[in-house]
Structure 1
Amino acid sequence: MAMHVDELHLEDALVQRLIVEQFPEWRHEPIRRVVSNGTVNAIYRIGSDLTARFPLRDVDPADVAAELAREAEAMRELGACCPFPTPVHVATGAPGHGYPLPWSVQTWLDGDVATPDGLAGSKRFARDLASLLKAFRVADTRGRGFPGAGRGGRLQDSDEWMEVCFRESEGLLPVDRLRALWSGFRSLPPAADLVMSHRDLIPANVLVDRERLVGVLDGGDFAPADPALDLVVAWHMLDGDARATFRSELGCDDVEWRRGAAWAFQQAMGLPWYYRESNPGMSALGRGTLARILSDPVVA
């Protein structure tokens, strides 16, 4: 089932043809699709060291080309300051054989994709996540401001989207309680300063091995943002005691901590209803994150 009304359909044979024709040096490598809950790209592994990412939504190819170039630069900047491995941009592929968009090739990282509950009680994992955010917070913003789109700017800019989410979630979630929570969140004071931020620290973008963080994926949006934005990991992946450890390691005050919950709330509200049928894993992530926020006495 398609996740988006403008979603492109990709056949494995087409992907193989594009990769082999444009990069014949990989023609002898096995190419296989990676099953994931991803919503932006179809992922194909090339041999043991590379991965190809094919955008799923049918948009202007020129916009995609510009986005891939911007993402490659952001990935380089993330890699320079991240204390854990991150993918490296290797090449950009061209449209062809009916597939209309540019696509990219990156290095592959070993590790298990994190889950919302797999390490939810691990204080060791919580400390690893805190060390990741500490590294981002001391990285140089080079005087840049917020990029102007997506999460990490002003909470109030999400009011219209939140109204859509509340309307679509009737009968699915406790909407009256969630509306009241958002009313408080949107009134929180903004961040005084910005820091470098991953901007999408959901479980699918975190690699683990046993109880340790071993890799960070999808860093193409690395840019200055509200310091509270990356705190979303606390509600996406940690339960009470581990979440408290994470907060203590970072030294977050009450306002920043609640703003982190607000960003997690903003992200989670769009998942249960939008992906209810097409991507149950993402829908479940949203439900779980909202449940953690609603049960947290500090923020709810």
Structure 2
Amino acid sequence: MPTAPAADVVIDDALVADLLAEQAPDLADLPRSAFDSGWDNELYQIGDGLIARFPRREASSSLVENEVRWLPRLAVGLDVDVPQPVFVGRPSERYPWVWSVVNLIPGVGASRVTPAERTGFAEQLADALWCLHLPASPDAPLNPVRGVSLAQERFDARVRERAAGFAEADALLARWDAWSHAPEFDGVDVWVHGDLHPHNLITDGHGTLTGIIDWGDLTAGDPATDLATAWLTFDADGRRIFTERLDDGGLVDAATWQRAKAWALHLGLIFATMSDDSPELFAVGQHTLAQVLAEPV
């Protein structure tokens, strides 16, 4: 399985210390420590309640900018906490991109609890998507790999390549062929989180959702991308509660749920084949593929 892409800029404690001293001196003397590392960002905890986010690649440098611009506006309508920028760093000679310091949402990632333990927040997450999936601004960020149609050759080729390594390849591809060609989304583009998997859902560890993080993939488009979380996050019981909550108001039609299953399969394969440096995301991928294989074609 592939490793994370090489960083364009090496982000270490010395660089973080220099940037804080230069641009946010009131934060420079607070304790700090490496918090998390992903394909796109390096995260450092500052003091007890802050997280500094530093893009590690030019290809992902706009993601923090998206969060800084849009999260203060979107948070007003959401009924769960999302990270809010308390400081925005500017590009400099030492570091070429925008970086940010946001509040730390307390809790544990839902990827660290069992799927059965996530059932408790199924309705909460459905309600959060009720609030999020509203018509997006005309100048919303563009994202070529989220909120778009999966009925494209580039997606089809990747799914087939990734599925080929699984004993259940035929069953996976039968579902992909059926779901990825569901009727296309023809509604008004809505706000889409774009990366709504358990690692980005924060809980209190006792069945309550306390926040949604990592909004860098934020875009406008088909809500099916986010609704894939029904299979990424929940087991059959949690998924039933989640889908029934959304179906109660007629928010989601059958074609959208079909596209959501295609997104779940697509994302599940990504996590199951490209997360060698993240056991939690690998487990999300394995869980997702098991869930979609339990669905009839």
Q: TM-score range, shorter-chain basis?
A: 0.7 to 0.9
**2:200 partner letter:** N
How far did 1:234 drift? Answer: 0.9
- 2:5 aligns with 4
Secondary structure, in 3 states, of the residue corresponding to 1:192? Answer: coil
2:143–2:219 CA contact under 8 A, matched in 1 = no
Q: Please provide the CA RMSD for this pair.
A: 2.7
Relative to structure 1, is the Cα distance of residues 82 and 214 closer, same or farther in structure 2, using a 3 angstrom cutoff?
same
- 1:216 aligns with 212
- 2:42 aligns with 42
Relative to structure 1, is the Cα distance of residues 97 and 118 closer, same or farther in structure 2, using a 3 angstrom cutoff?
farther
2:109 pairs with one of 107, 113, 117: 113
- 2:16 aligns with 15
- 1:268 aligns with 268
Relative to structure 1, is the Cα distance of residues 136 and 44 closer, same or farther in structure 2, using a 3 angstrom cutoff?
same
Q: Which runs of 5+ in 2 are unaligned?
A: none
**2:16 partner letter:** V
- How many residues align? The count is 290
Is 1:246 aligned to 2:242, yes or no?
yes
Relative to structure 1, is the Cα distance of residues 125 and 156 closer, same or farther in structure 2, using a 3 angstrom cutoff?
same
2:271–2:285 CA contact under 8 A, matched in 1 = yes
**1:69 partner letter:** E
Q: Distance in 2 between matches of 1:173 and 1:103?
A: 43
Q: Distance in 2 between matches of 1:39 and 1:85?
A: 24
2:168 pairs with one of 158, 167, 174: 174
How far did 1:54 drift? Answer: 1.2
- 1:27 aligns with 28
How far did 1:132 drift? Answer: 0.7
Q: Which runs of 5+ in 1 are unaligned?
A: none
1:162–1:269 CA contact under 8 A, matched in 2 = no
**1:19 partner letter:** L
The one-character-per-residue Cα deviations of 1:166-217 (angstroms, maximum 9, x if unpaired) are: 3245334532222222111221001231322212111121111111111111
How far did 1:8 drift? Answer: 4.2
Relative to structure 1, is the Cα distance of residues 255 and 67 closer, same or farther in structure 2, using a 3 angstrom cutoff?
closer
How far did 1:285 drift? Answer: 1.7
Alignment of 1:129-208 (within 5 A): 129-137=125-133, 139-142=134-137, 147=142, 149-157=144-152, 159-172=153-166, 174-193=168-187, 194-208=189-203
Q: Distance in 1 between matches of 2:130 and 2:109?
A: 22
Is 1:226 aligned to 2:222, yes or no?
yes
Q: Distance in 1 between matches of 2:222 and 2:65?
A: 24
- 2:79 aligns with 83
2:123 pairs with one of 127, 141, 162: 127
Secondary structure, in 3 states, of the residue corresponding to 1:87? Answer: coil
Secondary structure, in 3 states, of the residue corresponding to 1:44? Answer: strand
Is 1:286 aligned to 2:291, yes or no?
no
2:268–2:285 CA contact under 8 A, matched in 1 = yes
Q: Distance in 1 between matches of 2:39 and 2:143?
A: 22
